[in-house]
C-alpha cells in the first residue's frame, strides 16, 4: 500500500458527495470497488457495507458534514485536502486498500454518523448482524493522528427555551423580554467551568457550550420567545441520567430545558485486551478521546473498541480539512 495509491483513493472518495442522508452513491461505489477487487463484500442494508471475515473489526462512516467550498479535493506535496479528508475518507481509503490487499480484518462501512445518535445506522447494524458482536476488538477509524484514543465523551444536545410577553419596544416595562431571560441562562453556561474527570487512568474534560441562538419578532417588538442550543460533553463514568441532571440542576430556574439527543459516553477498554496489548506494544500513545465516536455503540453491543485512524482531529469539519 503506497502513499501514492492511498492519496489517489482518498481523492476519489472525497469527490463523491456523501453528506449525511446522501451516502447511497458512495456506498454503491465502495461495494463495487471491493467486489471488483475480489473481496467478499455485502450490502448489509440501510446503506451499510460489510466485507472480509477476520476477527478484528475496522469501522468507518461514509457521511461528512455539509460542504464548505472544499470539494473537489486537491493534493499538495504531503497532504490531501477536501471535505472529509480527515473525517473520515482518508480512513475509508485505508480500509479499502487493506481489504484489496487481503488483510484479515472485518470491514464495516456505515452511514449517518454525523447526525444525532438516534439516527445512527451502526447500532441497527450491530443488532441485526450478531457476528459483529463476537469481535475481540473494534477499531473505529476516526482521525487520531495515529495515536490510540480510548473511550469517548458523551454528547447531549438540548434546547433552552425562554418565554416572555411581547410588547412595544418603546414601552418595554409593559412586556417581558424573552431574549433578556435567555441571556441570563446563556451567562450561566458561559461561567460553567471545564471539569476534568479521571477515568481508568485517563483524563477527560467535561464541557458545556451554547452553540446556536435565535429569537425576535421585529426591530420594535419586545420578543416573547427565544431559544438557544446547548451542547454538553460528559466523561465516561457519568450516566446518561446523571449528565442530564447536571443541565437541569444548572438551568431549570432560568429557562425550559428540552433534551432531544443524548449519545452515551464510551468506556475505556481494558489494556489487558489482547489486541489492545498488541497495539500498545507497537509504541502507540494511549490517550482519551475528547469527542463522541461510535466506540460507544460498540461498547453497548458488548464489544471492546478503540479509536485509531489517520488524519488530524483538528482539521475535522473545517473548511481547510
Average pLDDT for 91-98: 97
User: How many Cα atoms within 13 Å fall on the side-chain side of residue 265?
Assistant: 29
Dump the DSSP string for 94-118.
HHHHHHHTT-S-EEEEES-TTS-GG
Q: Residue 2 above 90 pLDDT?
A: no
What is the pLDDT, as a whole number, of residue 3? 86
CB 310 within 8 A of CB 147: no
Residues with catalytic annotation? 63, 113
* pLDDT tens-place string over residues 243-260: 999 999 999 888 999 999
Average pLDDT for 96-101: 97
Average pLDDT, the chain: 95
Hey, which bits of the chain come out as E strands?
41-45, 48-52, 57-61, 74-75, 80-81, 106-110, 138-140, 148-150, 154-163, 167-168, 195-199, 202-215, 221-222, 225-234, 256-263, 286-288, 305-307
pTM, rounded to two decimals = 0.90
Amino acid at each position: 500500500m503506497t502513499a501514492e495509491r492511498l492519496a489517489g483513493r482518498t481523492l476519489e472518495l472525497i469527490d463523491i458527495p456523501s453528506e449525511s442522508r446522501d451516502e447511497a452513491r458512495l456506498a454503491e461505489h465502495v461495494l463495487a470497488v471491493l467486489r471488483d477487487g475480489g473481496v467478499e463484500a455485502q450490502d448489509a442494508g440501510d446503506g451499510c457495507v460489510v466485507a472480509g471475515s477476520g476477527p478484528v473489526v475496522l469501522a468507518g462512516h461514509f457521511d461528512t458534514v455539509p460542504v464548505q467550498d472544499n470539494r473537489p479535493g486537491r493534493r499538495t506535496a504531503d497532504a490531501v485536502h477536501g471535505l472529509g479528508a480527515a473525517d473520515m475518507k482518508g480512513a475509508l481509503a485505508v480500509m479499502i486498500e487493506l481489504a484489496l490487499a487481503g488483510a484479515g480484518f472485518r470491514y464495516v462501512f456505515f452511514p449517518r454518523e454525523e447526525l444525532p445518535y438516534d439516527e445512527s445506522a451502526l447500532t441497527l447494524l450491530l443488532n441485526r448482524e450478531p457476528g459483529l458482536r463476537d469481535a475481540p476488538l473494534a477499531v473505529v477509524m476516526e482521525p487520531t493522528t495515529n495515536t490510540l484514543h480510548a473511550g469517548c465523551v458523551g454528547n447531549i444536545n438540548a434546547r433552552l427555551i425562554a418565554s416572555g410577553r411581547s410588547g412595544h419596544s418603546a414601552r418595554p416595562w409593559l412586556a417581558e423580554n424573552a431574549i433578556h431571560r435567555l441571556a441570563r441562562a446563556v451567562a450561566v453556561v458561559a461561567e460553567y467551568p471545564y471539569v476534568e474527570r479521571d477515568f481508568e487512568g485517563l483524563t477527560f474534560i467535561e464541557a458545556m457550550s451554547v452553540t446556536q441562538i435565535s429569537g425576535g419578532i421585529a426591530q420594535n417588538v419586545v420578543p416573547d420567545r427565544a431559544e438557544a442550543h446547548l451542547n454538553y460533553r460528559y466523561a465516561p463514568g457519568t450516566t446518561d441520567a446523571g449528565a442530564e441532571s447536571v443541565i437541569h440542576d444548572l438551568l431549570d430556574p432560568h429557562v425550559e430545558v428540552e433534551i432531544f439527543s443524548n449519545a452515551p459516553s464510551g468506556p475505556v477498554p481494558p489494556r489487558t485486551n489482547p489486541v489492545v496489548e498488541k497495539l500498545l506494544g507497537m509504541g502507540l500513545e494511549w490517550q482519551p478521546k475528547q469527542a463522541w465516536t461510535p466506540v460507544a455503540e460498540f461498547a453497548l453491543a458488548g464489544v471492546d473498541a478503540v479509536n485509531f485512524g489517520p488524519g488530524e482531529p483538528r482539521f475535522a469539519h473545517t473548511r481547510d480539512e
